Each structure stands twice: as structure tokens, then as C-alpha cells.
Structure 1
Amino acid sequence: MNSGITMGTLLSLYEDFPQYIDTINLNIPESGNTIPDLLDETLHNLRWMMTMQDEDGGVYHKLTTAEFEGAVKPEEAVNQRWVVQKGTAATLDFAAVTAQASRIFQEYQKELPGLADSLLVMSKKAYTWAKENPEVAYIQKNLKELTINTGAYGDGKFADEFQWAAIELFVTTGDEKFYKDSDIEKDAVEAFGIPSWPNVNTLALYTLVRNRNKLKTNSIVNISSIESKVIEMAEELVEHSKESAYATPMGDKSSNFVWGSNSVAGNQGVLLINAYLLTGDEKYLNAANHNLDYLLGRNATGFSFLTGFGKKSTKDPHHRPSESDDQEDPVPGLLAYGPNPGQQDKAYCEGKYTDAHKYPATSYIDDRCSYASNEIAINWNAPFAYLANGIEALRNKK
């Protein structure tokens, strides 16, 4: 589930800013080859995702140990792992990602012969399985073969995943049956909002507006309706930033401060950049920049939530590789969860929550005990990568 939105976000970063991304050197073993470093990085996760599809097209919900590993080095994390239960949500996320990746890697046939074609075959097969199995929810407590106590990532609503997968397949193949499947222009099917791992249909809107020029001649697509929805959501964020104490879109509702609240800030920024790309209106780009400022310290905690950056940055994240090595500082460049008034880790962090943490915007502890506010995960690092690189690309272009 986390791979779905994470890969969709990183692949979209490439699709929106290909010329800029071509210039980025990430100092990885593949640097210097003819594939952009960002795509080389996504390939690692993409190839793993490909192994998660069963022969019938269904995709397993997750690969996991029965219990969380301790604070050990990656090479010491050797407990038995399991692939568990095929499900509709995971299968549709897979269908969306592989369809999007197929059109991107079509440009790299020489370097990766056959990959794009294989991805499209796998995407269609996954989509067919989901159509035949439209309501298979992963309910971890109901597993009979074994007991799993790692994060469940359960999702019981699949309309948004169907919309995302159908639109990615439509744009990649041009087959209008996928667009008709999506019902993307009918808000009643599934409301649009800031994306998160269980709510992904707004990613479909981004894909449509990204390809709006070639879709304007398609009679079944009301592209102006899609554009209006993106602008409407972005406008709400801009209006809030005018009234915010920190002049940021982040925090427009108390519900922004949830488990992984920094993903909300990052994904608001992605939405605002998409509105800017659509309209050219500076107010959207400025608002996106304000959310980057929020993540880097202009917030009620005063923390830069990005490890290794800023005078007061996250130093002790809930991150096993950082905890297990012999370095005092954490791995740099990782975005922490952010304020979470749910404080699901309160017992584990006994005595560390004080009156200073009682407000939604300040409910953050820079301590490895705080898995509810200070953990590291790919699905908030991805929108941060999009936001930071997107702003850099657009500012440098001017």
C-alpha cells in the first residue's frame, strides 16, 4: 500500500520535470548511466513490486515479519518474512503504478528491453483480477494461518483505487473503456482530497491534467471539469495560508495533524504545484513554497523535520537503521512523521509528553520512542522529494 502512493508520487516527479530530473546526480552506483538517477532508484522498488503479483494477476498485500524487528542493522534483520493475502486495494495500486511506469520506461527500451511491455501486461492482468475480485479487503486480525502484528495498512474502500488504476491505464493505452470505468468526473463515486496511502484518486486527476493537451481532443474527457477540481482544492489551501499564524496552507484543519501529518504538508504542496503547472499563477507556487518552509522549521514546534538540515532538526527519529549504526546523528535527508495529537505511543514514551504537546500542532517528540510522531516512512519522504525538487526546478527555470 505504501509502495503505491510512493511510487506514483516519484514517477510523477519525473513526468512533471523530466529535464530537471535528468540533471540530478544522487551519487548512487548507477550514476553516470543513461537512465536518470531518480528512475534508477524507483526501479529497485518497482522490481520488488513485480515479485508481489501472483500468477492469476492478484497482488499480495504486503511482505512482512510476524513481529517488528528490533533496532538492528539491515543485514541483521533475518527473521522469517511472509507474503500475506492478495487484496483488491494492493492489486489496484499495483495496476496504477505499473501502468504509469510502463509509459515512462517505454523511453528506455534500449537500456531496459522488454520492461515497459512486461509492466503493461502485468498492469492489465492486475486490473482484471481486481474487477473479478472487487471487494477483497485485507483484515489482519482475521488471518488464520499466522498472527501478524506489524502495521496492517488495511483499506475497506476501493473506489479511489479503481479510479487511479483505470486512469493510468487509460492514459498509457488510450483505451477509452478504462476512462468509462473510472467515473472520474462524478464526485459522488469517491470524494477527492489530499492524497494519502488509502486515498489515491486525486493522483488520477494529476495524471489527467499532466496529459491535458493530448486529451483536449478526446470527446469523452471533460478535461475542464478535471482542471477545475484541482484548482478548487488548491484555492482552498491558498486562502487558508492568508489566515494562518505561520502563513502556510498546512494546518487548514485540525484533521491535518494525524499520524504522518508531514505527508499532509508534502501532499498539499504537490497539489499546489500541480495547480501552478496548470495555471501559471504564482500564488500556488508560493503557497507550495510555504509548506516546504513549514517542513523545514516554520511551524509551531520550531523543528526542521528533515534530519541533518537546520539548526533545530530531528535528531532521534524512530528509524532502525539510524538507531543501529555507530553514528550519533541519524541518516541525513529523512523526513519524520510530524505532530500527531493521537499520541498512540504515549505508553511507550511514558513521561515524555508534557503540556507543551497538548495542542495538535505541537504534539511532536524528537525521541525514538515516538513511533506516532517521529518515525520514518517512504510515503511522506516521497511528497517531500516531489515538493523540494519541483520548487527547485520551477525556480531555476525562471
Structure 2
Amino acid sequence: MKKYKDFVCVGFAFALSTVSCEAKNDAKIHVSQLGYTPNSDKKAMVVPDGKVDSFYLCDAASGKICYRGKLSPKKYWDLSGEDLQWADFSSYDKSGEYYLSVGGKKSYNFTISSKAYDDLTLWAHKTFYLWRCGIDCTEEFSNFHGQSYAHKAGHPDVNVIVHPSAESAGRKAGSTVKSPGGWYDAGDYGKYTVNSAIALESMLMSAEAFPSFYKNFDMEIPESTNNTVDVLDEAMYNLEWMLTLIDTVDGCVAHKVTTKRFVPMVLPAETNVQRYMIGKSTATNYGFAAIMAKASRLYKNNPDYPDFSEKAMRYAKRAYEWAEKNPGIIFHNPDSIGTGSYTARFPEQFRFWADVELYLATKDKKYIDLTAIDTFQYDVPTWQLPASFALMSLIVGVENNMVDGDLKKKTELHFDKLANLLYDRMEKDPGRFPLFKFEWGSNGGLANAGTILLLQYKKTGDKKYLKAAQDITTYMIGRNATGYCFVTGFGQKSPMFIHDRRSTGDGIAVPVPGLLAGGPTLDAIRDCDTYVYNYDHPKSEYPTREYPARAYNDEICSYSTNEVAINWSAPFLMLLAGINENSK
């Protein structure tokens, strides 16, 4: 693409600074609504209205032109059903507030600033505090720009009934157990072992991969005054709950703690329906073993949690042994249960993940089969397919000199292939989309893709991977076919009616801040046709039932596109931590 000279808005006698951007607002110029850091790639997605070939970067206060550039040639994006052009102003790095003008239309205002993502990064982390089960979330730690999101504790979970599906050697059906704490999983009030392990993997990996960022990062949570980095304090709140799930007699780990059916859209303290410990499966045990082994390593010799590391490793091994003795057990909801199933159909992926984490924690080679790493087709990890999380953990181990020999060679080979698969998809796709498809929770998949590219940048030093990760970040905060910043409380156009019981029940117009909406997908576009919840808001139609990149519906009923979940928010906070560590 032909490059135009960039201009400072003042100081040049002949310059474009004397020219004003006369433009009207237009929803078809998609920018990062929170802006760009000065040294990042800066791109905007334009859906052209007629024939246009130039764009202008304009000072938001004066309207004067600061930079002009040529739009890329028009290309059709079959995932959005639109012609696209790109405005690239990466070479412009002057801090300030701007908008883009294209063909007489203008974008939302945005900043170029080294602090563009500071508040977003804080709340992407801090929102996990507001997900805590069983405690009062107090105003001191719940204030967002003057609005309190404090709420009373719900679900103490000290009288949980063991469902017949969870019965094990030391836990009889119908007996009661204590299972307090942990995070609510998503828009409901369930606590799920598989998804908790997945979310914790991203959170703990973030702490390990980006220690410089976390060294002085204050999440403003109750534990912030101790000596542990805050992200590990927050993770501990969920880890301690997970320890309640194992039967110490035989090592069986329960699959979830929920009610029998989803409860109404009210605050946690406003529902007291009986809760149950439900289910067991091979994958559940392997996932528990994986995250406890990882946590045992990261909290070793931590004076704030002196007994945790040894206990976590002991329970990890017990859970692993149970899974080895009970292969092929797949959890499905019993007839009496209607909460999330998290049916993990590929326990071999969970076993590989557990093997990797146990090896990294113990250095016991019995956990590593060098042929296993060649077994999987690696792509962006999901809660169903965590093998790529194991590969990511290994590559962090390589960077920290914990992996060597043939295992190191194989790890680097497979990780290079994975990172380049994602990078090449972005470069070839007209919409710069790195995933195989817009699956349910596409924003979580994008966040995971971004973290993989960041780890590849750390490994190689090649800035093309960092720029790709930066580009993914801008997608999630506005530079996408829907025009939404997908994070609640941020941007000029963000989700207002997310599928989240706290946000619906609190009576506050703006949802709980810092939550990442699931994002576009065509996987379940009839959710708003068939589900009715207790809220007074007219339902709108999906904008499309044909083009997945635009298939997003900001409605409470749209659990497929507009729910929130810990396994989507966790890689998003990791992505932002890495961007902050490497982009300032």
C-alpha cells in the first residue's frame, strides 16, 4: 500500500492542519473505541459507502487533519457479507484524542496513549472479585467510576446435598457437604469444576508469563495488602473452593455445585434454592489434577499460603490416580438436572494437560510420553479441547528453562506451527479473523489466540506476533463487524443487556463492568425465540442469521452471544497483561 506522510496537527505552515474534517458520525468505521498505544499497529475496519480511497485522522477537539492515508483495496468478507477496506495509520504515534473521517463520515472518538488500556486491564481482572460466591462484595472494592456494584453474599454452600451422580467412597448420596467460596461460572450461579480449571489455567499462566506486569499491579481487592501478586490472590479464592470437591477417600472429584435448575435473574442473596454436588467424570479429575499441579508449583514456599502447595500436589496426584483407574467416564446431566453440563468428550486431551502440569511440577518423567505431544491437532484451546493449554504451559516452561532435550524440541516445533497457523489465518482473512470459525464464545477464542501470539513474540522477539495480538485486542474493543466494544462498561457502544443474573438483578443500568460478552456466533440463534426470563425489556432480532461475524444480539435472552463466562474473561485478562507488558 502506498504510504502517505504523517502530519502533526500544529507547526507546519503548509500542512493539512489548516484543513478541517467535516464529517458525520457513521457506524461503518470500526475503530478500537478505547484507542491504541503509540507503538502499536493502528488499523480500522471500514465498510465503504460508495467509492472512497482515502481516510483522514482528525484531532477530536479541533477537527483538524493530523494524518491522511490511502484505504486498502476493497475485499469481500464472506463472514460478514460486506466489502471491507482498511485504514492503517500505524506510523502515527502522537498522543491525543482523534477520530477517523472517511468519505464524509466519522468514527467514534478514540485516544492514542500509552495508558489506553489501563482502566480496561484493571477491570478485566477486578471483575473476578465481583464473581466471588459466598461473600459480601463491598463498596470499597466494587466502585466503578462512582457507581457501586456492591452486593450481599449469596450461596454460602455449607449444606450442599450430594446428588446420586456424585456418590463416591467417602460421599454418600443424600449426605451433606461443605463447598463454600469459588467463582460463579458465568451468567448463572453454578460452580463448575471443568470450567474453573480452564479459567485458572489462563490466570495462573498469565502470572507466570508476564511477571513484570504483575509485580506492581494493584487489583484493589481485599488481599492486596499481602505479599502475593494480586492475580494469584484472586486465583486462590477459586482454588480453595476446588479443594472441597475431592473425596479424600478415593480421589473422586465432583463435577459441579449447582441447583437442579437455573434460578431467576436476581441477585445472589435473593435466591436460596437447595444446591447439590453433582456428577463425576474422567476429564473432570484430569482437569482438577492439571490445575492443582500447576498451582502447587506457583504457590510453593508462599508465606501467605504456607500449607497450600503440598496439599494441592497431594490432591492432584489422588485425582489423577482416580482418573487412571476410571477411564472413559463421560458426564451427562441426570434427568433431574438442567444446569450447565460441561460434557467433556475428549478425556485424552485432559490427561495430556494433567501429564504436562504434573511433569512441570515434579520433574517426574513418568508423566511425559514424548509420543503424546505429537497426537493432537493444535488450535485455539477451549474448555472441551485443552491440549493447546498444555502446549502453552510447556512453551512458558521452555522460556523459564524448565523444559529441555527432545521435549523442548517437540514443544517448540508444535508451538511454532500453532502460532503461525493463527498468524497466517489473520493475514489471509479479509476481516483479519484468526479462528477456524465463529464458535460459541468466539471472543474467548480470540483472547486465547492473542495469548498464543504473545507467547510466540516472547519466544522469538518477532514483532509481527505482537502486532497481531494487538490487532486482536482492538477487535474485541470495537474494531469488528458489529461495531461493539464487547467489554461491559467500556467504549461508546458496549453490551447493555448481557445474560448475567447479577447485572439483571441489581437494577443498575450499566452491567457489572469488565465482563467480556461471548460474541458473535450462529450456533444458537433461536435462543431469544424460545427462552423467557423475568425482565421487562423488549426482545430484538439478531441482525443476521446468515453471516456469523455480525451474529451478535445485545439481549438478555441471547445466552449464545451475550452471556459472560470465566473461561472467556480469564484469557482476556492474560491478553491485556501481555499487551501492557510489551506495548508501552
Q: TM-score, normalised on structure 2? A: 0.63
Indicate conservation of the 8 Å contact 1:89/1:155, yes or no: yes
| Counterpart selection for 1:91 from 264, 280, 285 | 285
| Counterpart selection for 1:236 from 421, 426, 450 | 421
Indicate conservation of the 8 Å contact 1:304/1:313, yes or no: yes
Tell me whether 1:282 sits opposite 2:282 in the alignment: no
Counterpart in the other structure of 2:576: 388
Give 1:264-279 correspondences, 5 Å limit.
264-279=445-460
Counterpart in the other structure of 1:227: 412
- Displacement of 1:193 after TM fit? 1.7
* Distance in 1 separating the partners of 2:510 and 2:464: 37
- Displacement of 1:232 after TM fit? 1.1
Tell me whether 1:135 sits opposite 2:328 in the alignment: yes
Counterpart in the other structure of 1:117: 310
Larger-Rg structure: 2
* Distance in 2 separating the partners of 1:122 and 1:296: 40
Letter in structure 1 aligned against 2:401: K
In the alignment, structure 2 segments of 5+ residues that lack a partner are 1-193, 533-538
Compared CA separation, residues 21 and 63, structure 1 to 2 (3 A):
same
| Counterpart selection for 2:386 from 200, 212, 218 | 200
Counterpart in the other structure of 2:55: none
Counterpart in the other structure of 2:40: none
Letter in structure 2 aligned against 1:115: F
* Distance in 2 separating the partners of 1:28 and 1:137: 37
Deviation sequence 1:146-172 (CA, Å, 0-9, x none): 601111110222110000001100010
Compared CA separation, residues 197 and 370, structure 1 to 2 (3 A):
same
Aligned CA-pair RMSD? 1.7
- Displacement of 1:84 after TM fit? 1.0
Indicate conservation of the 8 Å contact 2:487/2:516, yes or no: yes
| Counterpart selection for 2:503 from 283, 304, 322 | 322
Counterpart in the other structure of 1:348: 530
* Distance in 2 separating the partners of 1:391 and 1:236: 20
Counterpart in the other structure of 1:68: 262
- Displacement of 1:215 after TM fit? 4.5
Structure with more helix by fraction: 1
- Displacement of 1:313 after TM fit? 0.9
Indicate conservation of the 8 Å contact 1:95/1:122, yes or no: yes
Give 1:358-397 correspondences, 5 Å limit.
358-396=546-584
Give 1:111-260 correspondences, 5 Å limit.
111-140=304-333, 143=334, 147-180=336-369, 183-187=371-375, 190-212=376-398, 214-215=401-402, 217-218=404-405, 221-246=406-431, 248-250=432-434, 252-253=435-436, 255=437, 257-260=438-441
* Distance in 1 separating the partners of 2:490 and 2:549: 21
- Displacement of 1:349 after TM fit? 6.8
* Distance in 2 separating the partners of 1:58 and 1:354: 43
Which consecutive aligned stretches of 4+ in structure 1 deviate over 6 angstroms post-superposition?
none
Structure with more strand by fraction: 2
| Counterpart selection for 1:13 from 206, 209, 234 | 206
Secondary structure of the residue aligned to 2:484 is: coil
Indicate conservation of the 8 Å contact 1:249/1:268, yes or no: no
Indicate conservation of the 8 Å contact 1:238/1:249, yes or no: no
In the alignment, structure 1 segments of 5+ residues that lack a partner are none
Deviation sequence 1:86-107 (CA, Å, 0-9, x none): 2111111100000000011004
* Distance in 1 separating the partners of 2:217 and 2:420: 31
* Distance in 2 separating the partners of 1:355 and 1:310: 20
* Distance in 2 separating the partners of 1:216 and 1:261: 32
Secondary structure of the residue aligned to 2:388 is: helix
Compared CA separation, residues 354 and 205, structure 1 to 2 (3 A):
closer
Letter in structure 1 aligned against 2:386: V
Deviation sequence 1:367-394 (CA, Å, 0-9, x none): 1111111001111001110101111012
Letter in structure 2 aligned against 1:227: E
Counterpart in the other structure of 1:82: 276
Identity rate of aligned residues, in percent? 36
Compared CA separation, residues 355 and 105, structure 1 to 2 (3 A):
closer
- Displacement of 1:216 after TM fit? 5.3
- Displacement of 1:23 after TM fit? 1.2
Indicate conservation of the 8 Å contact 2:454/2:466, yes or no: yes
* Distance in 2 separating the partners of 1:173 and 1:367: 47
Secondary structure of the residue aligned to 2:277 is: strand
Indicate conservation of the 8 Å contact 1:357/1:364, yes or no: no
Indicate conservation of the 8 Å contact 1:368/1:374, yes or no: yes
